[in-house]
């Protein structure tokens, strides 16, 4: 399965178990493409859920156990019992979010004459403790091989955020191209009049208080166009429209119009974030892309037991939005982390007063994040550092 490692470009195996439907594979697919496109790494992406993968990358064949898409070798990871030899092992092995790669793969890693650099790529958090855990080694309890923890993050003492080298230039070029923008809206079935309204993209988990905001928006003094991927907030959309809406369908009540979008490739989702006035995002992948979009956003964080996700949310808001109290309050309410009962009309009206200021000052945040380097380059730099250390010890 693995090409010979005797070429100039390293090989890399990335193992991904899809837990959050699109966030996990979204991150791993972006990372895979950046490794391949910008650093000529030969990537093998192991994924357990090809159906979710196909929704953000239509080229994926859900019936093919091994395939190549955009230069990336994709393998359907459908069991833990597969057999591997040293020849199957990549130079760099990444397990995303402690996903327990097959035992036989680990055993083959330990037997390889030149052991791979083995990383656990952790989930993104703004909590301070990650700075002390980033890059820490973790020796295997029985085999002679060591794994290292690698944390994305928001400071120079972490791995940074995932971002392509040319993303800012692509964004600026697109936003300065009226024909491209017009074609984008038309491709989604949205006419010029609709696109002139306040545009909101809505990507959230089912338990979000969506109906409360729908009620506020339909009574808005100005038009609001809410763009929702098909299948997201299905029950609330049905309650609003009185019928099941599919991709391409719309429904209007008062000032609020809902338009259902098909799931689109990641490049088009980025463009949607760039064009909307406000983005509701969820999980980790769209959360990071919303930051690079430079527009106000509300994050719906993936829920954890005992409300541990509330601590992560507050840690991020402290870094990102300490000067925007209304954004913080609305974000907390959206995640059921606000003390007391939420008055959604007041929350929305107060946030609206702050929205333009957030957009104006968002460039300062993206500039500060870019100073930390990008996750992909930082990760490869660390693997070289680890390998050099091993060579010196040898």
Is residue 26 in a domain? yes
Catalytic residue list contains 100: no
Active-site residue, selected from the candidate residues 48, 49, 270, 284 = 284
Asked if residue 213 has pLDDT above 90, the reply is: yes
Q: Note the pLDDT of residue 191.
A: 79
The answer on 259 and 110 residing in a single domain is: no
pLDDT tens per residue across span 31-67:
999 999 999 999 999 999 999 999 999 999 999 999 9
- Residue 132 makes CB contacts below 8 A (sequence gap 6+) with none
Overall domain count for the chain? 2
For the chain, state the CA radius of gyration: 22
Question: Is there a contact between 62 and 54 (Cβ–Cβ < 8 Å)?
Answer: yes
Average pLDDT over the chain reads 94
Asked if residue 307 has pLDDT above 60, the reply is: yes
Q: Domain containing 43 — which CATH number?
A: 3.40.50
The answer on 52 and 30 residing in a single domain is: yes
Asked if residue 1 has pLDDT above 70, the reply is: no
The answer on 207 and 324 residing in a single domain is: yes
Domain around 135: 11-161+373-393
Is residue 65 in a domain? yes
Is residue 4 in a domain? no
pLDDT bracket for residue 6 (50, 70, 90): very low
Is residue 353 in a domain? yes
pLDDT tens per residue across span 163-192:
999 999 999 999 999 999 999 999 999 976
Positive/negative CA dihedral, 66, 72, 78, 82:
positive
Is residue 3 in a domain? no
Q: Note the pLDDT of residue 9.
A: 85
Q: Report d(CA 298, CA 290) in Å as an integer.
A: 9
Higher pLDDT: 9 or 73? It is 73
Q: Report d(CA 314, CA 296) in Å as an integer.
A: 17
Asked if residue 270 has pLDDT above 90, the reply is: yes
Helix (H) or strand (E) holding 217, with range, is: helix 210-218
The answer on 21 and 102 residing in a single domain is: yes
Active-site residue, selected from the candidate residues 24, 48, 122, 354 = 24
Is residue 60 in a domain? yes
The answer on 77 and 214 residing in a single domain is: no
Question: Is there a contact between 201 and 227 (Cβ–Cβ < 8 Å)?
Answer: yes
Asked if residue 331 has pLDDT above 70, the reply is: yes
Catalytic residue list contains 361: no
The answer on 354 and 213 residing in a single domain is: yes
The answer on 224 and 122 residing in a single domain is: no
């Amino acid at each position: 399965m693995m090409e010979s490692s005797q070429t100039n470009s390293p090989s890399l195996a990335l193992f991904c178990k899809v837990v959050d439907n699109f966030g996990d594979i979204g991150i791993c697919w972006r990372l895979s493409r950046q490794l391949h496109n910008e650093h000529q790494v030969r990537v093998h992406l192991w994924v357990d859920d090809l159906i979710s993968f196909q929704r953000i990358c239509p080229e994926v064949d859900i019936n093919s156990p091994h395939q190549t898409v955009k230069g990336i070798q994709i393998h359907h990871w459908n069991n833990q019992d597969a057999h591997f030899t040293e020849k199957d092992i990549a130079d760099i092995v990444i397990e995303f979010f402690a996903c327990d790669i097959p035992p036989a793969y680990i055993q083959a890693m330990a037997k390889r004459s030149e052991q791979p650099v083995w990383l656990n790529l952790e989930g993104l958090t703004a909590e301070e403790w990650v700075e002390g855990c980033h890059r820490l080694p973790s020796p295997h309890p029985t085999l002679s091989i060591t794994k290292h923890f690698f944390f994305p993050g928001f400071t120079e003492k972490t791995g940074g955020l995932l971002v392509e080298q040319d993303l800012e230039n692509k964004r600026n070029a697109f936003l300065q191209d009226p024909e491209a923008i017009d074609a984008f809206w038309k491709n989604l079935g949205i006419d010029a009049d609709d696109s002139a309204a306040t545009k909101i993209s809505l990507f959230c988990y089912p338990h979000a208080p969506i109906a409360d905001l729908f009620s506020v928006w339909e009574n808005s003094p100005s038009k609001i166009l809410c763009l929702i991927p098909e299948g997201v907030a299905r029950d609330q959309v049905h309650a609003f429209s009185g019928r099941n809406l599919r991709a391409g369908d719309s429904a209007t009540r008062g000032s609020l119009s809902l338009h259902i979008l098909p799931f689109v490739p990641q490049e088009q989702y980025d463009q949607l974030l760039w064009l909307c006035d406000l983005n509701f995002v969820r999980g980790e992948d769209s959360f990071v892309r919303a930051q690079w979009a430079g527009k106000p956003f509300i994050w719906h964080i993936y829920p954890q037991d005992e409300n541990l996700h509330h601590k992560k949310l507050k840690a991020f808001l402290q870094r990102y939005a300490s000067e925007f109290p209304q954004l913080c309050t609305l974000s907390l309410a959206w995640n059921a982390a606000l003390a007391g009962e939420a008055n959604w009309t007041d929350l929305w009206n107060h946030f609206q007063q702050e929205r333009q200021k957030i957009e104006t000052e968002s460039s300062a945040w993206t500039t500060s994040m870019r100073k930390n380097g990008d996750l992909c380059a930082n990760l490869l730099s660390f693997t070289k550092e680890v390998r050099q250390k091993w060579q010196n010890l040898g």
